[in-house]
Chains A and B, each alone.
Chain A
Amino acid sequence: MIRQPDPKPDVMVRRDSIVAGLRKLLPETGLIAEPLRLKPYETDGLSAYRQVPLAVALPETTEQVAAVLRFCHQNGVRVVPRGAGTSLSGGALPMADAVVVGMMRMNQILDIDYPDRCAVVQAGVTNIGITNAVSADGFFYAPDPSSQLACMIGGNVNMNSGGAHCLKYGVTANNLLGLKIVTIDGEIIDIGGAYLDAAGYDWLGLLTGSEGMLAIVTEVTVRILRGPEGARAMLAAFKSNEIAGACVDSIISSGIIPVALEFMDRPAIHACEAFAHAGYPLDAEAMLIIEVEGSVEEQDRLLEQLSAICRNFDPISLKISQSAEESLAIWKGRKGAFGAVGRISPDYLCMDGTIPTSQLPHVLRRIQEMSDSYGLKVANIFHAGDGNLHPLIMFDANNPSSFHAAEEFGADILKLCVEVGGCLTGEHGVGVEKRDLMPVQFRPHELTQQRDIKSAFDPDWLLNPSKVFPLLDSETAVLPRAA
């Protein structure tokens, strides 16, 4: 189970006056305090954990965010920022004494600047909403997390979200130019802007992936890119994970960097095929989806070179998409992977470690051993080019011991990721889910140093305070170290 800090008694007893105070700062429908209407905010994408917050604020402007934070700061009230609530690590899990600041009403695209290839959007614009706004002109916003239909750019910034095309286009941090943020004391600050490499410290880089602990993001200046002439996928199936892993190495060594390079193991192939009927080879132990970009002739040439590489690894089958429709079909299974696993098992945990790619066969073997010993099935999906592994652990939520075992299994996988030279999370964030594993990756003084940076932004530890770092005694958690 996840431990939460005790609610602050002085805040709980002042609940009514806090709600009344916040109500004055927001539009008429901008504050939710009725228990029934708070219910939808009690959890996020990590739905095993629930906590109804004290209230939910739904600001419509940066100034309203500032007023709410200033009020919470003056009253010692904790704040949990929230976008669409799609976090898989519990990044938006409320606390009983906290005000959730939901950003979904700040959903305007403020500026699109094609000559300078950037757009300014409010934090509550969805990830796909940015691409949709510019796609008619041939442009797109590159990071494409699986939740992109729902997740919001403010949440993407706070989790430094990735996606399937990071190998070429990078993650959120690599696609931002500027932010408008509000600090806990209600100050509005512009970071960067519509230009590259702001002078001074890299606040943009530090804030990206800071999981709502340093400030609330209200506006984002993103890079938008012109899309390639075209893209096409191929599918290669192999007799073992080792062989598929060796093929990935060989592709990277060839100098070709595909725009996407996705790996699925046998259970993942079967789950996705049953769901999407994408024509995946059911006799394979492992499968790669490889996508390239360029003109039709460039695609043909690259896909032929990649096929030649794959043929060196005795593939069970190779299928080169001949059209945009066939590429979509190849992607359909992969993009529906979570839904597909959900059909086999009503409940699953989606893990998110990163490993050095050379360790893939070893790690998959160890995960299979763990799966046998825990008695829980697992399907593995892997962004093979960048080493980001997503084991989906299936369990039965009606059986508490099954859930407990799934959590332990997941923790063992993440410890294994660190053991082989990787990390606890590649793109989902630490949140509450992996908070207590942080000492596996970091030494105590390294965590203290990170805590000190949080204290520099938020000395009273009011912003998303129970995330990312293992809980300390509450007093020591809020005290910055003496010099």
Chain B
Amino acid sequence: MTTEDSIVAAVADAVRTREPLLIEGNGTKACMLRPVQAARSLSTSGLSGINLYAPKELIISAWAGTPLPEIEAALAEGGQHLIAEPPDLSGLLGSTGKPQTFGGIVATNLSGPRRVAWGAMRDHVMGVRAVTGRAEIIRSGGRVLKNVTGLDLCKLLTGSHGTLGVITEITLKVLPAPEATGTLVLPGLDAAAGVGVLSAALGSPYGVSGAAWLPAEAVGRVAGLAGVAGSATLIRIEEFAPSVAYRIGRLHDQFGVAGSVVLDTAASRSVWKDVGDVRPLVAAAEDAVWRVSVRPSAGAGVLDALRPLGVTGFLDWGGGLVWLAGPANTVTHTAVEAAATAAGGTWTLVRAPDALRGAVRVVPEEAAPLARITRQVKAAMDPAGVLNPGRMYAGL
């Protein structure tokens, strides 16, 4: 599809013929969540290009099919960046040979390490255009940074995996890219001790913008951490160069251990790119992958609870984000669900063979009153059920 109107026509046709559509960009995240039951697909990849970039207003607008690297390059030229640091999960999800799209990263609301301090993709979506399941183009939000006019459908559509509307254009808040980055690497702490340090660092006045813990086997997968023995606890500062030096120094004074290392800007960027892209995760090709979000102090416990089942993982977001890989079967899946639930958190089945992801819940079941609202909102946006049916919940 190369125009919004052609998307409208395609959705209208799907409604008329009652033939559901698989909604996608370049399909780089097609294997996330549940398989979509649709004979036809609708791709936004032809709807591409930046419509507005106003660096002084901290705003960029682009069609949903725009390759994300194109957005990142335009921002880099303006000395700015995507605040939520969205990851490239092709290492986990397999490469299609094509880059992920702007629409794809918004529709899945995936954010990187900076999320812990600066918010998720959904926090920076200032405006969207989308084609609903009624084949109508709707707009929500706009091109300004503060806007509470009407219901916030930007947030509803962000992370809705194409099930409520085909996002066609997104306007995003951006910020100046930091001049420098520094990382304090503390070797040898176990997960609980590492999270304790990360909590203290995130609770310090120094504006920590990355806080991760990697077990030894994960450290070995990160080129920028070559030479670090054992586990690694990582604390990042992004600021003007003198502030990075000062703040990393203070953090080192407070939390440094024997063998602590400070990474410079280039090494830091490489390490955090790997962490965001989930490169440290030790996952065999046939393994399932889960993403669990809990209160940070519960993250280490989730790892401990699942280790006996052959599940490995690492922690980001100060301990609150737990990436896990393990055997792709219902026993393990149920155990992951139970561990996340026991920790009071949430979880997503990110990757699994079709047989498993088609058979189990891929996100937590909602309580009955909320599930009822979910069905009614889906019906309000997509009454004929033609947009990515079954993607998030079976039968919806």
Contacts and interface: CB of A to CB of B under 8 A. Distances in A.
B123 A255 contact: no
B205 A200 contact: no
B315 to A, nearest CB: 13
A195 B346 contact: yes
A324 to B, nearest CB: 15
Interface in A341-372: 354-358
A196 interface: yes
B243 A294 contact: yes
A197 B158 CA distance: 11
A448 B392 CA distance: 25
A303 B54 CA distance: 25
Contacts of B177: 255
B57 A114 contact: no
A423 B377 CA distance: 25
Given A160-B152, A226-B205, A449-B380, A194 B344 contact: yes
Nearest to B80: A255
Contacts of A334: none
A202 B154 CA distance: 10
A428 B345 contact: no
A374 interface: no
Contact of B143 (A117, A166, A421, A442): A421
A166 B173 CA distance: 13
Given A386-B145, A387-B144, A450-B150, A193 B345 contact: yes
Interface stretch (B3-11, B95-103, B252-260, B363-371): B363-371
B144 A454 contact: no
Name, among B59, B147, B159, B366, the residue most crowded by chain A CB atoms within 10 Å (CB to CB). Answer: B147
Interface string A394-437: 00000000000000000000000000011111111110001000
A328 interface: no
Contact of B119 (A138, A170, A202, A453): A170
Interface string B223-248: 00000000000000000101100100
B151 A115 contact: no
Interface string B175-215: 11101000000000000000010010011111100000000
Interface in A140-182: 159-160, 162, 166-167, 170-171, 173-174
B111 interface: yes
A457 B150 CA distance: 15
Contact of B364 (A200, A209, A383, A456): A200
Contacts of B140: 446
Nearest to A295: B246
A423 B370 contact: no
A62 interface: no
B204 A183 contact: no
Contacts of A203: 370, 373
Name, among A204, A226, A442, A449, the residue most crowded by chain B CB atoms within 10 Å (CB to CB). Answer: A449
B27 interface: no
B199 A115 contact: yes
Contact of B204 (A193, A209, A226, A385): A226
Interface string B307-332: 00000000001001100000000000
Contact of B176 (A159, A255, A423): A255
A115 B296 contact: yes
Contact of B151 (A252, A298, A434, A450): A450
Interface stretch (B65-73, B131-139, B273-281, B351-359): B131-139
A164 B56 CA distance: 19
Interface in A273-297: 294-295, 297
A3 interface: no
A194 B296 CA distance: 9
Name, among B140, B146, B317, B367, the residue most crowded by chain A CB atoms within 10 Å (CB to CB). Answer: B146
B381 A423 contact: no
Contacts of A185: 369
Given A199-B363, A446-B139, 10 more contacts: A193-B346, A194-B295, A198-B346, A201-B374, A208-B155, A354-B144, A355-B144, A423-B149, A449-B138, A481-B383
5 contacts: A206-B151, A226-B205, A385-B145, A426-B146, A446-B138
- The 3 A-B pairs with the shortest beta carbon distances in the complex, nearest first, are A205-B155, A483-B383, A456-B376
